[in-house]
Structure 1
Amino acid sequence: MNNIRSTLATVWRIASPFFKSEDKWAGRVLLGAVVAIELSSVLMDVLINQWRNRFYTALQNKDWDTFKREMLVFCAIAAVSVALGVYQLYLNQWLQIRWRKWMTSKYLRDWVHDANHYRMQLANDAADNPDQRITDDVKLFVAQTLALGLGLLNAVVSLASFVIILWGLSELLPLTLFGIDLSIPGYLVWAALVYAIFGTMLTQWIGSPLVGLDFNQQRLEADFRFNLVRVRENSEQIALLKGEGAERGRLLDRFGRVVANWYGIMSRTKRITAFTQSYAQASVVFPFALAGPAYFVSKTVQLGSLIQIAEAFGKVQDSLSFFVSAYRTLAEWRATVARLDGFENAIAAAEKLADDPAAIHEKPAAGGEIALPQLLVKLPNGTPLVAAEHFSFRPGERTLVTGPSGAGKSTLFRAVAGIWPFGSGAVEIPANASLMMLPQRPYLPIGSLHDAVVYPGEATQFEAGRVRDVLTAVGLPQLAARLEEEAHWNRMLSLGEQQRLGIARALLHAPQFLFLDEATASLDEPSEAALYRLITEKLPDTTVVSIGHRSTLGAFHERNVTLVRDGDRFSLRDTVKVAAS
């Protein structure tokens, strides 16, 4: 019971914001229309149930006039039912796409903002494969929540409507057992209730493991798909290393987990299907077994009433057995809800990590420099990594940062960029200052070359002529004529060409602070020197901070600092101070 309450509370937390959002009136009107049509469908079922009594009684009595009239009545009811079914499907789909669009926008906004997606990875959160959460899980959540909600509404209203009918029909004929007439008020209703309770209890007992199996299946499928994408994206390196056998083995291993879990689902589904199908088949003849003696023996009821009793009993039994018939969908739905709940919790945890006053935080600097007054950068597990005290990157100065591998140079850059929260202290940055970080492998979005070069800016911010001039300046004249060409540029270009594009991006955006994390390491020394001279010429007022290992880089920087071992951490110090110590 606690699990049910917890699931419903989670569903309300996930679903209700849509009906309070800027799109709330459209959502509420569509939901109201869908609910109204669902209620109208129940009314049609009641009318059809009453019609069957009159129609089959007319057949039994060979009443031609009543037969003709009831045929016309049926045509009218059927026409209305068809119209209701068509518009219910149409409006339901309309509501689904608006709801899904809103949820997708919300999750993208919460996930991809202020490096929250990056912090979620650092925190090793449980929300694996966010792509699957935002695509498959959101789609399933919207569709299944509507289907189950409307199904439950239909079951409740049908139960209320047909219980009255079935109770009244119970009064028309006595219960006959072993030739003895018994008078039990509403016995058909009580029989349906007992039948449904029995079925529900057995269904829960047989099918409860399906929730966990469905949850794992979605996770394993997403993991397998993610690794397939990884092989595609790294096909060149895999081919060069002749790693196809290793990758195939890893993929088959992950797919083996998918198959093993699927066998578990198959086994449990076989059992639950065997029971629910048997249960449904038995429910067809059960009301006839109860009411049959009154028709054949005592002859106190006509064929029309017998048919109406059977259908009304079926409706009541179906309503009471909603849990039985929808169990498979409910199991999938609960797994989907759990995955979205985990995703929302991971987003919230990453945001909380960024807002933690004890973590590394950003504050406005008093002057024009980036200051690290007392910064301690840690690993996610809390191990100290880099310390910086009373250190600053001064305006217009060009600084080279060196140190042994693993000392935390790139992590220090991430802390300055505001995406690494683990640690303590503050990074003081001038108000409205523009920073750009260029990593060793720059990100180039799929699309036109123009869009890739000017990223994260808009293409309209930079004229094509200016972009072509910059490409020529960084040594890529062959690409200057391909600005409108669309491609996956991280695959099309060598790493050296990608790094040249990164420098071109910096020249276009002209940031106040430019951080180069081995951003030219894949180029030969003369090409690297040419690009640094170009940066000096085109960005004379930009503060440049570089990470590099080549001794030739020293000529292009006025200041050299290094990370040196200081107990359980590395400390950032000027090389002059190192030499003096």
Structure 2
Amino acid sequence: MFKSFFPNPKWFFSSVVVWFILNLAFWYSGGKTWGEFLGFPNGYATAELPISVSRFWSAQFLWFYLWFFVSTVIFALFWQWKSDNKWQNWSVHGSAFIIFNIWLTVQVSVAINAWYVPFWDMIQQILTRGGGDLSLLYAESLTFIYIAAISVTAGVIMTFFTSHYIFRWRTAMTEFYVEHWQQLRNVEGASQRVQEDTMRFATIMEDLGVEFIKAILVLIAFLPLLFSLSEKVPMLPIVGEVKYSLVWAAIGWALFGTFLLMVVGVKLPGLEFNNQKVEAAYRKELVYGEDYTDRAEPATLQTLFKNIRKNYFKLYFHYAYFNVVARWYGQLDILYSLFVLFPALAAGLLTLGLINQISGVFDKVRESFQYLVGSWKTIIELLSIRKRLKAFESILDE
């Protein structure tokens, strides 16, 4: 699943984590200001970013682009020296490009969140005064469109590139399994493992991986903002006054949802795995029946289909209560961000701009902490596919 596409997966992914932490440590321990040694303006790292599209080519952003490029090149050269995997240009450079695009979309979210405050405060002033300058509304709307244009462009490029990335990963897995086909051909459902599961595994891994990286980068970008905005909301409902109230509220609610769905969905991965097994057995008997008259007898097919029905009915039952819990959590989640602000609203501590900014930042951080909540059904499917491919590959290990 991994060694066909990534160079020495165990050490590769460990080195990714170490390299990421090192870069993060250097950046936040003064690295963001090192651009001054290369001619960047003094104080550029602490300068207030404009609430417009021009922030994306400000000195702060240009230095980050350069840092990311150099860091990626160093990492890629190391693995080019260490390994000779034929797909590592895609797995190393391609993964870095995807991470950069995710970072860019997160920065667009930060820019739009910063845009909320002046825009909604301006609307509040216009409503309070009974009117205002129409041209200002058009100008602020145009600012939003310029920022959103970057998000749209990056999103289209990301979708196109990741489609090719996924297909390359699937190709690498398929080539690996075909190379060892003589040892694998007698495994139950071998053709399905090679044709369908490789495609689904690569697609789901890409989806989950992108969302996971996005969740991490969103936390890095928005969590400091949430710490500072917590000063505007000193009290929480029921709990009362708490330091860093919004941070604790986001973490607590996300952990509650994650633990709840893990408990109610614990049986689903095994049932999904069994579901593919009984389907494969039924399909295999039908395929044999096309060539041999003594196969696919009605009694045999009836028994195999009963196994399918039994497993599906179990799956429907367990998904029923899982969906009840998941949907109730989702509905309460809509209200939660406003519920947290009720005491501050009642005390008159917030303006319309601040309400929108805090809600936006709070929702971003909360959604990042809820990565497992939002992805649990997909994770269940991935665990099932991985379990099948792992059993498939165990033949080669033997």
Spell out, residue by residue over 1:28-57, the C-alpha distance to the aligned partner (whole angstroms, 9 max, x if none): 222221121111111112122222233222
Spell out, residue by residue over 1:293-346, the C-alpha distance to the aligned partner (whole angstroms, 9 max, x if none): 323x32221112112222222111111111111111111111111111111111
Unaligned runs of 5+ in 2: 10-83, 127-131
Q: Is the contact made by 1:158 and 1:319 (CA closer than 8 Å) also made in structure 2? A: yes
Q: What secondary structure is seen at the aligned counterpart in 2 of 1:304?
A: helix
Pairwise mapping of residues 424-463 of structure 1 onto structure 2 (< 5 A)?
none
Q: Is the contact made by 2:237 and 2:342 (CA closer than 8 Å) also made in structure 1? A: no
Do the aligned partners of residues 176 and 216 (structure 1) sit closer, same or farther apart at CA in structure 2, a change above 3 Å counting?
closer
Q: Given the alignment, which residue of 215, 218, 224 partners 1:158?
A: 218
Alpha-carbon distance in structure 1 between the residues aligned to 2:201 and 2:161: 17
In the alignment, structure 1 residue 341 sits paired with structure 2 residue 394: no
Spell out, residue by residue over 1:450-502, the C-alpha distance to the aligned partner (whole angstroms, 9 max, x if none): xxxxxxxxxxxxxxxxxxxxxxxxxxxxxxxxxxxxxxxxxxxxxxxxxxxxx
Structure 1 counterpart of 2:349: 300
**Paired amino acid for 1:57:** D
**Paired amino acid for 1:233:** D
In the alignment, structure 1 residue 317 sits paired with structure 2 residue 366: yes
Paired residues, what number? Answer: 318
Do the aligned partners of residues 304 and 84 (structure 1) sit closer, same or farther apart at CA in structure 2, a change above 3 Å counting?
same
**Paired amino acid for 1:70:** E
CA displacement at 1:185 relative to structure 2: 2.0
Q: Given the alignment, which residue of 247, 272, 287 partners 1:214?
A: 272
Do the aligned partners of residues 21 and 159 (structure 1) sit closer, same or farther apart at CA in structure 2, a change above 3 Å counting?
same
Spell out, residue by residue over 1:159-185, the C-alpha distance to the aligned partner (whole angstroms, 9 max, x if none): 22222222211112331658x9x5422
Structure 1 counterpart of 2:155: 85
Alpha-carbon distance in structure 2 between the residues aligned to 1:149 and 1:25: 18
Q: TM-score, normalised by structure 1?
A: 0.52
Alpha-carbon distance in structure 2 between the residues aligned to 1:160 and 1:276: 27
Pairwise mapping of residues 41-52 of structure 1 onto structure 2 (< 5 A)?
41-52=105-116
Structure 2 counterpart of 1:16: 6
Spell out, residue by residue over 1:367-401, the C-alpha distance to the aligned partner (whole angstroms, 9 max, x if none): xxxxxxxxxxxxxxxxxxxxxxxxxxxxxxxxxxx
Alpha-carbon distance in structure 1 between the residues aligned to 2:4 and 2:367: 29
Do the aligned partners of residues 337 and 190 (structure 1) sit closer, same or farther apart at CA in structure 2, a change above 3 Å counting?
same
Structure 1 counterpart of 2:169: 99
Do the aligned partners of residues 190 and 345 (structure 1) sit closer, same or farther apart at CA in structure 2, a change above 3 Å counting?
same
Q: TM-score, normalised by structure 2?
A: 0.74
Higher RCO (CA 8 Å, separation ≥ 6 residues): 2
Which one has a bigger Cα radius of gyration?
A: 1
Structure 1 counterpart of 2:36: none
Structure 2 counterpart of 1:255: 305
Pairwise mapping of residues 166-565 of structure 1 onto structure 2 (< 5 A)?
166-175=226-235, 183-234=241-292, 237=293, 247-295=297-345, 297-349=346-398
Q: Percent identity?
A: 27
Alpha-carbon distance in structure 1 between the residues aligned to 2:175 and 2:285: 26
Q: Is the contact made by 2:184 and 2:395 (CA closer than 8 Å) also made in structure 1? A: no
Q: Is the contact made by 1:18 and 1:24 (CA closer than 8 Å) also made in structure 2? A: no
CA displacement at 1:18 relative to structure 2: 8.5
Q: Is the contact made by 2:6 and 2:88 (CA closer than 8 Å) also made in structure 1? A: no
Structure 1 counterpart of 2:16: none
Alpha-carbon distance in structure 1 between the residues aligned to 2:224 and 2:146: 24
Do the aligned partners of residues 111 and 18 (structure 1) sit closer, same or farther apart at CA in structure 2, a change above 3 Å counting?
farther
Alpha-carbon distance in structure 2 between the residues aligned to 1:18 and 1:215: 27
Q: Is the contact made by 1:167 and 1:185 (CA closer than 8 Å) also made in structure 2? A: no
Do the aligned partners of residues 176 and 31 (structure 1) sit closer, same or farther apart at CA in structure 2, a change above 3 Å counting?
closer
Q: What secondary structure is seen at the aligned counterpart in 2 of 1:171?
A: helix
Q: Given the alignment, which residue of 136, 140, 150 partners 2:200?
A: 140
CA displacement at 1:208 relative to structure 2: 0.9
CA displacement at 1:347 relative to structure 2: 2.2
CA displacement at 1:255 relative to structure 2: 2.1
Q: Given the alignment, which residue of 114, 119, 124 partners 1:60?
A: 124
**Paired amino acid for 2:100:** A
Alpha-carbon distance in structure 2 between the residues aligned to 1:329 and 1:213: 14
Q: What secondary structure is seen at the aligned counterpart in 1 of 2:6?
A: helix
**Paired amino acid for 1:71:** S
CA displacement at 1:250 relative to structure 2: 1.9
Q: Is the contact made by 1:100 and 1:139 (CA closer than 8 Å) also made in structure 2? A: yes
Q: Is the contact made by 1:162 and 1:316 (CA closer than 8 Å) also made in structure 2? A: yes
Q: Is the contact made by 1:18 and 1:27 (CA closer than 8 Å) also made in structure 2? A: no
Q: What secondary structure is seen at the aligned counterpart in 1 of 2:180?
A: helix
Structure 1 counterpart of 2:13: none
